[in-house]
Amino acid sequence: MEGFTLEIPTTIYFGNNIVEEALKKESRYLSGNIMIVTTGRSLIKFGYLDALKKILDNLPHVEETLIFDTISANPKLEEIQRAVQVGIKGHIHAIIGFGGGSAIDAAKAVAVGVGTAESLERFLLEELEPSDKTLPIIAIPTTAGTGSELSKGAIISSLVHQMKGGIRGNSILPKAAIVDPHYTWTVPVGTTMETGFDALAHAIESYVAVKANGWSDMISEKTIKIAGENLPLLIENLDDHEAREAMCYASMIVGMNLANIGTCLPHRMQYAIGAKTDTSHGAGVAALYPSWIQKQYDVNENKVKRIIYWLTGKQISSGEEARKEMAIFMQTTHTLKTLTSLGIKKEDIPELTLKVTGNIGNDKLSLKTDIISSIFYDSL
Ligand SMILES: [Fe+2]
């Protein structure tokens, strides 16, 4: 077995109704003024945001809790710059990212902007790594899937620069991730399935990745099995709390693979789709999956066979069968999409292909010529 290094610097709290307890334990980061960065809406409607603010306000060293709740589904550089201004004026000392992956990614970027006082464009466009002046971040996810609470990336879109990219570095790893499944009880079916599929995609991609190791394979296997069992149960009954908890757990454990192993081409390619169409991360990744898994079979036959078996119980012996079984699973869980349905046209593909950046070498498929454009065309 090949050797590997494993880093899990984030303290993880997992369980129902644990937020107050966990925040008390992390109170060394929570003093003076702090700021909650959130996408708002449903968290306000269900009273979750008020309840969180109350908990924070009652902590012994917290003076004031500011709330910045105008972050959109694909967080924009312009929104984050506004949040940074509010944070600087408010003299904040820590950031709480509260919501789905967008809220947590935005929180990370705000922590960089306020803490380092550098222009965020430098991190996004010049791939400058944020220094340890970045403010401490505590992530409280309210969906099960993105894994952003354990990752060292913040994915941001810029309207001005017409791009979607990442700010990456160890300093934006949250100090703590507080994963409380009860927040997901009220998540609607569309978001439940899309974020659940994203968690599954993290497991599959980190399993076939060049950087995969024995430990990360164990996490991938467990996550794929959990998703294979529980996403179909949630389509039948959204109030199945055991299935919700299982998906929260799967999403959280596979977040460790995001930080240590990374993902493959579907994730690299989705950023280009999201930047062009402003469609959700999960939808863009899903649209590429049938074609990508078929092609992945050629370079990772045994691993793709296992993925399909764990997910569906079916034995396969070709890339076409991998594609067919993946598509059936996606149909059952209402996650099957095409690029056309996301607003991509054939003539957009050359430009989209040029916009794919990041570590594509983590996918064995990247050695094949024109593989990115061929997956795009095949996914229309
Ligand atoms: Fe993802």
For residue 314, the CA-to-ligand 1 centroid distance in Å is: 25
For residue 58, the CA-to-ligand 1 centroid distance in Å is: 34
For residue 64, the CA-to-ligand 1 centroid distance in Å is: 33
What does CATH list as the number for 189-378? Answer: 1.20.1090.10
CA-closest candidate to residue 174, choices 142, 145, 137: 137
Whole-angstrom Cα distance, residue 303 to residue 105? 31
Sequence ranges of the domains in the chain: 11-183, 189-378
Taking only the tens of pLDDT, the chain with its 380 residues reads: 778 888 889 999 999 999 999 999 999 999 999 999 998 778 989 999 999 999 999 999 999 999 999 998 889 999 999 999 999 999 999 999 999 999 999 999 999 999 998 999 889 888 899 999 999 999 999 998 888 999 888 999 888 887 788 899 999 999 999 999 999 999 999 999 999 999 999 999 999 999 999 999 999 999 999 999 999 999 999 999 999 999 999 999 999 998 899 999 999 999 899 888 989 899 999 999 999 999 999 999 999 999 999 999 999 999 999 999 999 999 999 999 999 999 999 999 999 999 898 889 999 999 999 999 999 999 99
- Top-tier CATH class for 11-183: alpha beta
For residue 143, the CA-to-ligand 1 centroid distance in Å is: 12
Query: Reduced to 3 states, what is the DSSP secondary structure of residue 224?
Result: helix
Neighbours of ion ligand 1 (CB under 5 A): 198
For residue 281, the CA-to-ligand 1 centroid distance in Å is: 7
Is 3 within 8 Å of 66 (Cβ atoms)? no
For residue 128, the CA-to-ligand 1 centroid distance in Å is: 22
For residue 17, the CA-to-ligand 1 centroid distance in Å is: 26
Q: Is the pTM of this model over 0.85?
A: yes
* β-strand pairing of 62-68 with 32-38: parallel
Whole-angstrom Cα distance, residue 211 to residue 221? 16
For residue 304, the CA-to-ligand 1 centroid distance in Å is: 19
For residue 198, the CA-to-ligand 1 centroid distance in Å is: 5
Token code pair at residue 3: 């050797």
For residue 298, the CA-to-ligand 1 centroid distance in Å is: 23
Is 175 within 8 Å of 26 (Cβ atoms)? yes
Strand ranges across the sheet with 11-14: 11-14, 176-179, 137-141, 92-99, 32-38, 62-68
For residue 203, the CA-to-ligand 1 centroid distance in Å is: 10
The dihedral region occupied by 91, where left means phi > 0, alpha psi between -120 and 50, and beta the remainder, is left
For residue 276, the CA-to-ligand 1 centroid distance in Å is: 17
Whole-angstrom Cα distance, residue 292 to residue 264? 10
